[in-house]
Structure 1
Amino acid sequence: MKWMAALPLAALPAVAAEAGLGDYRPVFAPARTEDGRALVVIRRFLLAGKPHVLTVEIPDFRTRIRPEEWISWERSADVAASYAALLDALSGPPHPVENAGLTHARAAAEGFFLTVDMCPSSKPFEARFFAALAARAARDGRAMPVAISISGYWALDHAAEFASLIERQRLGQLDISWVNHSYAHRYVRGVPDRENFLLLPHTDFEQEVLRTEQLLIARGLTPSVFFRFPGLVSDARLMAALRRLGLVPLGADAWLAKLQKPKPGSIVLVHGNGNEPFGIHEARRYLADATRRWLPLTEALAG
């Protein structure tokens, strides 16, 4: 990573306006679908002038955007109890400065979870790596599960590359979980981690989260329940704020560029933004092993 200067924040309103997205608000409320399935609503907003919600399915923790008229608000908080308990477990103490939250599958898993971070970068992204993921999908006969951690500034600065990832999802090559990686992803070289990234002064954490979600929704994508802290750096205050926003903190126990070895159930971390070629080299080596199963990230929450 490197120092990233503050960039203008005017781009998001333009993107949101094009999509007719507005009045974006966090909530945490139980609800049900028309056929009675349990949901937790974590956002309410207007899309093309009509009320919509971002919901978390219970018990599989997948997200979906629905017109608000498609749900019924549930009076009993029991509907949301399992999700609230999960958030409490993953955002509670202890609060290490680095790599708090979900770092490994919560239950035994016969596979691995690939996560790819897209921090702001001036370098071209790892196009050949994503092509290799598509090739793996063709070989397996199913979309390759991958969680892509998107920072807002990377998406805005690499519009064509971002569009190519969306297209691979549309073509059924990649089964992408869109992970929130903050909007600006600020970093100052030489500042200790405990004071850096989202812990830098004058950081509006809620807006760092919500602006990235709006950018994804404006592009026709659905944000997942996961948030990856830049640098994997957080503290108790940020964890509490993330809990109030209804999101799961995502760490990793196999950061390949740091020579951490994946085990069954590992959450594997590489950078797809051009900043960590060694990690990409290692990931391609693991991908070449046809015996390794790669799983959707939401399955790491089962327990």
Structure 2
Amino acid sequence: MNTVLKAFTIAAIACFTITNVFAQANYTKITGYSVYYGTAKRFGQTWMALRKFTNNGRDYLFLVNPKTLETRTDEAKGYEVTPMTIAQTRDYFKNSPYQNAIIKAEGASVALQDAGIERGLPKETGISLTADLCPSHHPLDRRIFTDIISGFKQVETPVPIALSVSGLWMRHHQQDIAWLKQLQAKHEIYITWINHSFNHRVSAKSPLKTNFLLEPGTDINYEVLETEKAMLANGLQPSVFFRFPGLVSDQQLVYKITDFGLIPIGTDAWLAKGQQPQSGSIVLIHGNGNEPLGVNDFIKLLQSKAKLIANKQWLLYDLRETVDEEFESKK
């Protein structure tokens, strides 16, 4: 890992620690949760506001740092807030890595499957690991976490992973959430939480163009905002990333998601489908117990890279880091 990347990794871990503190508030009495754009200034730092809500009589903001993609949820009273339209806010933060990523995702919105950002920086000697937690009756596949902790414990701690979480999965997997939070508290992993919709509906019979979030009658506001509320209620800090269920979307849906201030994340290496990761790949496996083949393939990948990992020549990257660096270079 080069010096700049080392410094960024340390900063990312520090940001995670700070962000995790903000996520620990008791957000169980949320009302008025809604999209809200503007700037929020504090201590010389200008954040971009994405949401506002009230919890237990106090007003809160959900914020993103457009330079680093760090998010936090904090009381509004501590900030100098200027409301703006979505167009004004994007213009204010133009050329930031966050806005460049939004533009890139919108430019890759035509495909019916795998729209959005599919990979990070090709120069990276490693991957960004994402695991989807779709609704499932199976328990969390904990091998993913125990194996990456074991495989990287001598070279990279905490180990970064991004989890795409659905609302229904959170509702029925409280013990698994508690276990993941415990791993975070021990600084064994740090998690970027990706919005994966609330219901994650899917039909075995419907064509893709009317399936998943493209199913007629889907309330996209509910699917997005209720998932964020559920994350907060469970002590999880939402990120600015979104993964489409089934990786299925159309151009109109992509723009709806970016209007929430979220960056669609795809993949160029869905392991269970036989797609092989390259340097900088955003790898997809399912951690909900429904796709053991993909998890087995990932464990084999780790084993095959053991010597490179030991020599710090093949690492796991924070999804925020790889997207931030990719689009910082586009300025």
Length-normalised TM-score, structure 1: 0.89
Aligned-partner Cα distance in 1 for 2:81–2:107? 28
Aligned-partner Cα distance in 1 for 2:108–2:193? 26
Q: Determine helix, strand or coil for the equivalent of 1:263.
A: coil
Deviation at 1:35, TM superposition (A): 1.7
| 1:136 counterpart (133, 138, 151) | 151
| 2:80 counterpart (64, 72, 78) | 72
Match of 2:316 in 1: 294
Query: What are the ranges of 5 or more consecutive residues in structure 1 without an aligned counterpart?
Result: 1-16
Deviation at 1:46, TM superposition (A): 1.4
**Deviation string for 1:129-156 (max 9, x for gaps)?**
2221232353335111000000111111
Match of 1:90 in 2: 105
Please say if residues 213 and 223 of structure 1, whose CA atoms lie closer than 8 Å, have aligned partners that are also in contact.
yes
Structure 1 counterpart of 2:316, which letter? W
Across the two proteins, how many residue pairs are aligned to each other? 287
Does residue 248 in structure 1 map to residue 257 in structure 2?
Answer: no
Q: Determine helix, strand or coil for the equivalent of 2:217.
A: coil
| 2:206 counterpart (191, 204, 208) | 191
Match of 1:49 in 2: 57
**Deviation string for 1:46-93 (max 9, x for gaps)?**
133211111111201111111112222258845422333431221235
- Specify whether residues 106 and 73 from structure 1 end up closer, same or farther in structure 2 by C-alpha distance, changes over 3 A only: farther
Aligned-partner Cα distance in 2 for 1:18–1:72? 22
Please say if residues 31 and 79 of structure 1, whose CA atoms lie closer than 8 Å, have aligned partners that are also in contact.
no
Further displaced range: 215-224 or 281-290: 281-290
Does residue 58 in structure 1 map to residue 66 in structure 2?
Answer: yes
Please say if residues 180 and 227 of structure 1, whose CA atoms lie closer than 8 Å, have aligned partners that are also in contact.
yes
Please say if residues 107 and 300 of structure 1, whose CA atoms lie closer than 8 Å, have aligned partners that are also in contact.
no
Aligned-partner Cα distance in 2 for 1:40–1:237? 24
Length-normalised TM-score, structure 2: 0.81
Give the % identical residues: 35
Q: Determine helix, strand or coil for the equivalent of 2:316.
A: coil
Q: Determine helix, strand or coil for the equivalent of 1:300.
A: helix
Please say if residues 137 and 173 of structure 1, whose CA atoms lie closer than 8 Å, have aligned partners that are also in contact.
no
> Aligned Cα RMSD in Å?
2.0
Aligned-partner Cα distance in 2 for 1:18–1:247? 21
Question: 1:33-48 residue pairs with structure 2 within 5 A?
Answer: 34-48=42-56
Does residue 284 in structure 1 map to residue 299 in structure 2?
Answer: yes
Aligned-partner Cα distance in 2 for 1:56–1:150? 19
Does residue 152 in structure 1 map to residue 174 in structure 2?
Answer: no
